[in-house]
């Protein structure tokens, strides 16, 4: 029995090395597949409601609802006296390397996929004594990964099972204020309080031996940052915008519980650890153009600089290897506005198309997403309903990953 317990302890120690990401990360450079990477893409700046998504995700120089404040608060001055916004989305993303999948522990025959649904933004803006104020709350990032459920069952008898699951979101409470300073110039600033969590759980079961090894890690996030922007009318039909998001530190309280149980041998080993770690997020800055070609046709574009070379992350006291490069995103879209009459009221039906080039920050592999989008809507009296979809395909990793999003936004104006 003593020899058997010694074997269990050796197996447990080996499992601890294999299942602890902080140890494995020093040997693997996974880039966009790291645990803290948002679903689909690293480059998250602001929020794209359905109208913005249909225009390639452009948000800097053209606003249709109060969510634009998350990217450029100055756009609030272009909205009506009061504007209420509620937005939901469906997202699909494919993965190949993440956690223990295709990194040396478990291998898949192809890409795995993750689907998620969310009410991802709700907010409003209103004008008061020459100022425009906005308040909103939304989901800014999703950290989930496809579940893994592997079973070894020769002859139909299960001998071994492996289960892995990762979930997590980052949410944002946003408060902004803006003002039209001159006839052509407007400026605004926003305060953002972020909070969220990340939960990873891996469980190994040797059924015949009655052995279970569980590795459970949780993180809770907190942080804050400022975003600001300005718009300037270069001409009656052309507006330019400048925006930025300050660099900030996303702080994490981490907890790890590694447990080995073998009831038949009366063994229950539990190792617990706590840590306070940081994720240093980069400066983001951008430039946007809004060109009203005619009363029914508009072209918009955004250019985004992300200072990812300054990104740093620590996990349970160990600095994680992240050899990132700075990147520039390009987003552009066209909107055609069809106008009809219904029951004596004017009905507007926009048709939108867009493109988004989204390089990822890792130096190797040089990976990037190219996305195409389209959308439409119905604007009747004070109600606006917009829908859009974006379909992106990644190149560079060799896995042809996919990121898709469908958004539906309901707005009410006074």
Contact present, 28 and 324 (Cβ < 8 Å): no
CA 42 and chain centroid, separation:
7
Question: Domain 2-413, what architecture?
Answer: Beta Barrel (2.40)
The total number of residues written for the chain in this structure: 414
Exposure string of 134-163, with b = 16+ CB inside 10 Å and e = fewer, is bebebbbbbbbbbebeeeeeeeeeeebbbe
* pLDDT score, position 155: 84
Per-residue pLDDT of the chain (414 residues; tens, 9 = 90+): 333 344 443 344 444 434 444 333 334 556 667 888 898 788 888 899 999 999 999 999 999 999 999 999 999 999 999 999 999 999 999 999 898 898 877 889 899 999 999 999 999 999 999 999 999 999 999 999 999 999 988 888 889 999 999 999 999 999 999 999 999 999 999 999 999 999 999 999 999 889 999 999 999 999 999 999 999 999 999 999 999 999 999 999 999 999 999 988 889 999 999 999 999 999 999 999 999 999 999 999 999 999 999 999 999 889 988 889 999 999 999 999 999 987 778 999 999 999 999 999 999 889 999 999 999 999 999 999 999 999 999 999 889 999 999 999 999 999
CA 137 and chain centroid, separation:
15
* pLDDT score, position 31: 65
The Cα–Cα gap between 67 and 82 comes to 13
* pLDDT score, position 240: 98
The Cα–Cα gap between 177 and 73 comes to 7
pTM: 0.89
* pLDDT score, position 156: 83
* pLDDT score, position 15: 43
Beta-bridge partner residues of 409:
87, 386
**Taking the C-alpha atoms of 127, 132, 133 and 138 in order, what is their torsion angle to the nearest 10 degrees?**
110
Distances (CA, A) of 367 to 31, 59, 92, 363: 9, 24, 18, 8
The Cα–Cα gap between 299 and 293 comes to 7
């Amino acid at each position: 029995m003593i020899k058997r317990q010694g074997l269990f302890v050796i197996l447990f120690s080996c499992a601890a090395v294999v299942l602890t990401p902080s140890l494995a990360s020093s040997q693997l450079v996974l880039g966009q597949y790291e645990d803290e990477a948002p679903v689909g893409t690293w480059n998250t700046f602001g929020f794209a409601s359905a109208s913005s998504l249909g225009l390639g995700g452009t948000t800097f120089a053209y606003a249709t609802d109060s969510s634009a404040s998350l990217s450029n608060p100055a756009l609030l001055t272009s909205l009506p006296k009061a504007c209420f916004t509620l937005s939901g989305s469906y997202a699909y993303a494919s993965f190949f390397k993440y956690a223990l999948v295709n990194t040396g522990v478990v291998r898949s025959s192809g890409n795995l996929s993750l689907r998620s649904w969310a009410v991802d933004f709700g907010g409003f803006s209103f004008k008061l004594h020459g100022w425009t104020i906005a308040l909103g709350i939304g989901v800014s990032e999703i950290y989930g990964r496809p579940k893994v459920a592997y079973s070894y069952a020769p002859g139909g008898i299960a001998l071994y099972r492996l289960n892995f699951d990762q979930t997590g979101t980052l949410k944002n409470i946003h408060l902004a204020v803006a003002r039209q300073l001159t006839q052509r110039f407007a400026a605004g600033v926003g305060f953002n309080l972020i909070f969220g969590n990340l939960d990873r759980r891996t469980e190994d079961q040797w059924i015949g031996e009655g052995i279970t090894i569980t590795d459970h890690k949780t993180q809770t996030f907190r942080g804050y940052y400022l975003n600001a922007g300005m718009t300037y009318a270069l001409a009656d039909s052309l507006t330019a915008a400048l925006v930025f998001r300050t660099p900030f530190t996303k702080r994490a309280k981490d907890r790890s519980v590694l447990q080995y149980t073998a009831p038949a041998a009366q063994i229950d080993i539990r190792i617990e650890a706590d840590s306070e770690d940081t994720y240093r997020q980069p400066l983001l800055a951008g430039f946007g153009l809004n060109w009203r070609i005619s009363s029914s046709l508009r072209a918009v574009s955004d250019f985004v600089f992300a200072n990812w070379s300054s990104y740093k992350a620590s996990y349970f006291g160990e600095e994680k290897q992240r050899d990132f490069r700075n990147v520039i995103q390009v987003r552009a879209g066209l909107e055609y506005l069809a106008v009809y009459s219904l029951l004596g009221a004017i009905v507007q039906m926009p048709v939108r198309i867009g493109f988004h080039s989204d390089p990822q920050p890792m130096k190797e592999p040089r990976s990037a997403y190219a996305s195409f989008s389209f959308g439409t809507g119905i604007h009747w009296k004070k109600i606006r309903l917009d829908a859009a979809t974006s379909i992106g395909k990644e190149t560079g990793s060799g896995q042809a990953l996919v990121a898709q999003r469908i958004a539906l936004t309901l707005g009410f104006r006074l």
